Amino acid sequence: MVNERREAGDDPARTLELLWREPGHGASRRGPRQGLTVDAVVQAAVELADSEGLEALSMRAVARQLGVTPMTLYTYVPGKAELLDLMLDAVYLQMPRGDHRAAAWRTKVTAVANENRELYSRHPWVATMPTARPPLGPGLMTKYEHELAAFDGLGLDDVEMNAALTFLLDFVHSVARATLDTQAAARDSAMSDEQWWAANAPLLAKVFDPDRFPLAARVGSAAGAAHQGMYSPEHAFTFGLQRILDGLTHLMSRPPR
């Protein structure tokens, strides 16, 4: 998607002011509807994106959902770029977070992965957002502080802790994006993966030579039978997460430097 979070005319100072506003505050002194707040605008935008996707999100659509004119909305949020930052930080702040301080480290790291996977399940549009420069709001900082705690005390230095968390989050994000792609393919073709492969199997059999591609034939058949298609988000998540945990175990077992 086009990076609408960083467009000409953005005011970083205004964005940070909105991100770090006091909870429940943010009512505009301008405009006809004094009961409206920045929080209400952000919540309406999140609900719209959850139900219809970011493609349907616009200042006009949010204003219509709130029963105000688009110009009224601009007295609360400067534009769509800032609104996207506020939305992302809001869902970060609202993430359910368990208290795993007494748990084993693998349990804590697994919990972080599952919490982020649940975030993408609740708000699929988050997986389509650019992640290079996330909003520096209380939601992001609360999330970062909570997730770093899963790696604290494992013998990693600060740079390694940050790298390990980033690696884990990038993995969960990649599975979420692949899941969205799988769902989109099923929706666009009106067929599940299993149905699609069954429909194309006769055509593939005419052109595919298993003697020429023996490994592809053997492994592809095994994977297809196991997953009813070439890709299973559930298997990809479980398999990949275990390999990350195994890698951390190896890193933690190195001799002290």
Q: What is the pLDDT of residues 207-245, one digit of tens each?
A: 778 888 889 888 888 888 887 776 788 999 999 999 999
Nearest alpha-carbon partner for 132 in 166, 91, 96? 166
pLDDT in tens, 13-39: 888 999 998 765 555 545 444 579 999
- Please give the biggest Cα pair distance in the chain: 74
Mean predicted lDDT score pLDDT of the chain: 86
User: Taking the alpha carbons of 124, 127, 133, 136 in that order, is the dihedral positive or negative?
Assistant: positive
One-letter identity of residue 219 = V
pLDDT at position 172 is 98
Structural domains for the chain:
12-93 (1.10.10.60), 105-252 (1.10.357.10)
Q: Does the pLDDT at position 77 exceed 60? A: yes
What mean pLDDT comes out for the span 109-119? 98
- Point out the least confidently predicted range of 118-122, 149-153, 211-215, 244-248: 211-215
The tokens for 212 are 């020429």
Instruction: Report the C-alpha gap between 24 and 27 in whole angstroms.
Output: 8
pLDDT of 46 > 90? The answer is: yes
| Residue 248: pLDDT band with limits 50, 70, 90 | very high
Of 126-140, 159-173, 202-216, 238-252, which gets the smallest average pLDDT?
Answer: 202-216
The model's pTM: 0.84
Q: What is the pLDDT of residue 13?
A: 83
2-6, 79-83, 98-102, 145-149: segment of lowest average pLDDT? 2-6
Angle at 55 between CA 194 and CA 193, to 5 degrees: 5
pLDDT at 1 over 80: no
